Amino acid sequence: MCGRYVIVSSVEVIEKKFQVKASDIQLKLIPNYNLGPGSYGPVITNDKPKELQFFQFGLTPFWAKKKMYLFNARAEGDGNKENDPAYTGGKGIISKPAFRKPIRSQRCLVIADAFIEGSINEGLSKPYVVYLRDRRPFALAGIWDTWTDKESGEIVNSFSLITTTANSLLQKIPHHRSPVILSERDEKKWLSAERLEDVTELLESYPSELMNAYPVSPKIKNPRASGRELVEPVGERLEKEMSTEIHSYLSLQGMGSGKR
């Protein structure tokens, strides 16, 4: 289950990488090393694929009577209750009341630089920063909805991250779930696909050899904490990397030292 992630790339970097423009030129993305439910994060939606918007993390279905924070949507729905990494059954998300409409027509790219996972038994008392070796920022598969508070008239645009089974890297934490990470070639497909089978075939684990993770302080479990020190390593990476790869990673703005 992914309830925290990292976004430190500037709006300008995101605009260039994903070929979008921010919807509000006055809106500045404040680096957040511990973005959790209730916070706002950058997304690119299927109905406005050239626009960078900021939605609330934690989806509230349009039909809800009160605000909800559904931050994860299981790709398997009610299937695979054992979280078997070898699961090949159906994608039950297509029939879940809160997600069956968004998965068909309200999908989004959730922009992230890394995400946080805790161990199965200890949760965020034993947290790890999980990142991609070859690129950042990257896109997580999300679904969105718009909810209106009938009492106040407030309109809330919100999103959930779709999760799937853990690959071999996540199993080393150990954790049994992973957000769906989209390859660059699948980002446009996620937004534009019309056939449901083309959508659900993307809900798979990302190749573990393209990822890595390292332990960080349990201070990150405090939802109000957001400083850069939260992502400083407190131990070794789960997989060894060549020295050039490590230097490249550590030189990235916000995730180590130096500037872009």
* DSSP codes, 225-244: ---GGGGS-SS--SS---HH
pLDDT reported for residue 130: 98
Q: How much is the pLDDT for 1? A: 65
Alpha carbon distance 174, 128 (integer Å):
10
Interval 75-130: pLDDT, tens: 999 999 999 999 999 999 999 999 999 999 999 999 999 999 999 999 999 999 99
Q: Strands 114-119 and 123-132, how do they pair?
A: antiparallel
- Predicted pLDDT of residue 257: 35
Q: Is beta strand 107-112 parallel, antiparallel or unpaired with respect to 138-148?
A: antiparallel
| Predicted pLDDT of residue 71 | 97
Give the chain's residues under pLDDT 50.
26, 243-254, 256-260
CB 43 within 8 A of CB 110: yes
Please name which of 193, 180, 42, 25 lies closest in space to residue 106, comparing C-alpha atoms. 193
State how far the Cα of 91 lies from the Cα of 77, in Å rounded to an integer. 6
**CATH topology (fold) of 4-250:** hypothetical protein yedk fold (3.90.1680)
Radius of gyration of the chain, Cα coordinates, nearest whole angstrom: 18
- Give pTM, 2 decimals: 0.92
Q: What pLDDT does residue 116 have?
A: 97
